[in-house]
């Protein structure tokens, strides 16, 4: 009888206190991920660049967000703006110099909880051969099973403000704003275990 009570207590504890979820590593889905950068152009307009074909992985641990991490690569060729001519202009040696610096990278150095459903992700951003620390304000959109693919999935939104001049591309500042606004939306999936 004592053994039955012990087994029942263990079963009840297992239900009440499920094993902590292990960190899950997800691969970024470039079809459902956008990185947008916008700035002020002489105060007249706020153009936007879209970076496509984002590659990378993120590890997220909902039980211990500090064990989470992210590593991303952004190709600097194939930029999308309002015109093909402007795309080429931004990729040229006068600006991002995609020929010499074909990609930008971000690698997190720390992740911290920042309130309900929010994280603060700090890491090293490298653009145009210059590496600087950057902090992203992150919102957790959704973590769970992808309804179509039936695999673990995670979605996040993030924002930050950067100075172009910190990365050696500060031409025409301050008339063309040195500060640029970055908006990111990320969807990523993991293989089923």
Q: Is residue 108 part of a domain?
A: yes
Q: How far out from the chain centre does Cα 151 lie?
A: 20
> What pLDDT sits at residue 1?
44
Report how far apart, in Å, the C-alpha atoms of 162 and of each of 37, 50, 87, 155, 172 are.
9, 16, 20, 23, 16
What is the model's pTM?
A: 0.86
Would you give the DSSP letter of residue 4?
Answer: H
Give a yes or no: residue 103 inside a domain.
yes
Q: Would 55 be classed as within a structural domain?
A: yes
Structure confidence at residue 78 (pLDDT): 82
pLDDT in tens, 39-94: 999 999 999 999 989 999 999 999 999 999 999 999 998 889 989 999 999 999 88
Q: What integer pLDDT is reported at residue 22 of this predicted model? A: 80
Q: Is residue 102 part of a domain?
A: yes
User: Per-residue pLDDT tens for 136-187?
Assistant: 999 999 999 999 999 999 999 999 999 999 999 999 999 999 999 999 999 9
Q: For the segment 95-141, what is each residue's pLDDT rounded down to a tens digit? A: 999 999 999 999 999 999 999 999 999 999 999 999 999 999 999 99
1 occurs within a structural domain: no
CATH of the domain at 91: 2.40.128.110
Q: Which domain holds residue 129?
A: 20-189
Asked whether residue 12 is assigned to any structural domain, the reply reads: no
pLDDT band at 193 (very low <50, low <70, confident <90, very high): low
Look at residue 21 in the predicted model and tell me its pLDDT: 62
Model pLDDT, residue 50: 96
Per the domain annotation, does 2 fall within a domain? no
CB neighbour class for 173 (10 Å; exposed up to 12, middle 13-18, buried from 19): middle
Asked if residue 9 is part of any domain, the answer here is: no
Which uninterrupted H or E stretch holds 87?
A: helix 84-91
pLDDT of residue 170: 94
Confidence of residue 192 (pLDDT cuts 50, 70, 90): confident
Helix (H) or strand (E) holding 7: helix 2-16
Q: How many domains, in total, are found in the chain?
A: 1
125, 135 contact by CB (below 8 A): no
């Amino acid at each position: 009888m004592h053994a039955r009570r012990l087994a029942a207590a263990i079963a009840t504890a297992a239900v009440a206190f499920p094993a902590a979820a292990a960190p899950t590593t997800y691969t970024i889905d470039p079809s459902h991920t956008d990185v947008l950068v916008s700035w002020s152009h002489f105060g007249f307009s706020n153009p936007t660049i879209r970076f496509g074909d984002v590659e990378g992985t993120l590890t997220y641990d909902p039980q211990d967000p500090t064990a989470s991490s992210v590593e991303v690569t952004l190709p600097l060729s194939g930029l999308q703006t309002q015109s093909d001519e402007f795309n080429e202009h931004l990729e040229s040696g006068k600006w991002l110099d995609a020929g010499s610096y074909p990609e930008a990278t971000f690698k997190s150095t720390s992740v911290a909880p920042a309130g309900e459903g929010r994280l603060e992700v700090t890491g090293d951003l490298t653009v145009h051969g210059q590496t600087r620390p950057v902090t992203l304000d992150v919102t957790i959109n959704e973590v769970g099973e992808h309804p179509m693919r039936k695999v673990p999935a995670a979605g996040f939104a993030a924002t930050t403000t950067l100075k172009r001049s910190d990365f050696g591309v500060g031409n025409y500042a301050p008339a063309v704003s040195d500060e640029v606004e970055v908006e990111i939306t990320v969807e990523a999936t993991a293989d089923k275990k």
